[in-house]
A and B are shown apart, each in its own frame.
Chain A
Amino acid sequence: MALTDTRPETGTDVTSVAPSVVPSPLTIFGSGDHKAVGTFYVLAALVFGIAGWIATALASAHIIGSGSFLSETVGTQVLQTSKIGLILLVIVPLFLGLATYIVPLQVGASTVAFPRAAAAAMWTWLLSSGVFVVASFIEGGFGGVRAKSVSLTLLALGGLIVALLLGTVCVLTTAITLRTPGMTLDRVPMFTFSMLVGGAIWMLTLPVLFANLVLIWVDHRYGGGTVFGASESQFGQVSWITHQPQIYAFLIPGLGIVADVVATLTGARLGKRNLLLTAIGAFGVLSVGAWAQAAIYPSFSEDLVWQAMGLLILLPLLLLLGGIAAAFKDGKPSLKSPLGLAVVSIVLTFLGVFAGALLVITPLELRTTNFFANGQAILVLGAALAAGAAGIGYWGPKMTGGHLADGIGKLNVLVMLGGGILGGVSLCVVGFASRFSGLSGAQDTLVVISVIGSALFAIGCILVILGLASGARKGAPEAGDDAWGTGQTLEWACPSPPPTGNFGDLAVVRSPEPLLDEEA
Chain B
Amino acid sequence: MTAHVLPPAPPVERPRVLVVGAAFAAAASFMVFIALFGVYFTARSDVVGGGSAWLPEGSTIPLQQPNTIFITLIMTVVTMQWAVSAISKNDRVNAYLALGLTLMLGIATIVMTTYLWTLMELDIASGLQGVLIYTITGAHTVMLVLAMVFVALMALRALGGQFTARQHDGITAAAVYWYAMVAVFALIWISIYITK
Contacts and interface: CB of A to CB of B under 8 A. Distances in A.
Interface stretch (B20-28, B58-66, B107-115, B188-196): B20-28
Interface of A: 8-10, 113-114, 117, 165, 168-170, 172-173, 176-178, 203-208, 210-212, 214-215, 218-219, 222-224, 226-228, 290-291, 296-297
Contact of A215 (B33, B36, B127): B36
Given A8-B15, A223-B125, A113 B21 contact: yes
> Could you tell me the dominant secondary structure of chain A's interface residues?
helix
B145 to A, nearest CB: 15
Contact of B131 (A173, A218, A291): A218
B34 interface: yes
B50 interface: no
B29 A207 contact: yes
Given A169-B25, A207-B28, A228-B131, A214 B17 contact: no
Closest 6 pairs (CB-CB, A-B): A211-B35, A177-B15, A207-B31, A208-B35, A224-B125, A223-B131
A169 B28 CA distance: 9
Contacts of A218: 124, 131, 134-135, 138
Interface of B: 13-17, 20-21, 24-25, 27-36, 38-39, 42-43, 124-125, 127-128, 130-132, 134-135, 138-139
Contacts of A172: 20, 24
B31 A204 contact: yes
A212 B35 contact: yes
B20 A297 contact: no
Contacts of B125: 222-224, 226
B53 to A, nearest CB: 17
A373 B36 CA distance: 27
Contacts of B38: 291, 296
B135 A203 contact: no
A195 to B, nearest CB: 13
A77 B127 CA distance: 26
Contacts of A165: 28
A160 B25 CA distance: 16
A114 B32 contact: no
Contacts of A291: 38
Max chain A Cβ within 10 angstroms of own Cβ: one of B31, B42, B43: B31
Given A176-B20, A208-B35, A210-B32, A203 B27 contact: yes
A297 B31 contact: no
B1 to A, nearest CB: 36
A234 to B, nearest CB: 13
Given A215-B131, A218-B124, A114 B21 contact: yes
A219 B131 contact: yes
Nearest to A117: B21
Contacts of B20: 113, 172-173, 176-177
B128 to A, nearest CB: 4
Contacts of A212: 35
B17 to A, nearest CB: 5
A222 B17 CA distance: 39
A223 B42 contact: no
A410 B38 CA distance: 48
Nearest to A205: B31
A211 to B, nearest CB: 4
A211 B21 CA distance: 21
A215 B32 contact: no
Nearest to A203: B28
A215 B31 contact: no
29 contacts: A9-B17, A10-B14, A113-B21, A114-B21, A168-B24, A169-B28, A170-B21, A173-B24, A177-B17, A177-B20, A204-B31, A205-B31, A206-B28, A207-B29, A207-B30, A210-B32, A211-B31, A211-B33, A212-B35, A214-B135, A215-B36, A215-B39, A218-B131, A218-B134, A222-B131, A223-B131, A226-B125, A226-B127, A291-B38
Contacts of A211: 31-33, 35-36, 39, 139
B48 to A, nearest CB: 16
A169 B31 CA distance: 14
A232 to B, nearest CB: 16
Contacts of B35: 207-208, 210-212, 290
Contact of B132 (A9, A169, A215): A215
Contacts of A207: 28-32, 35
B59 to A, nearest CB: 14
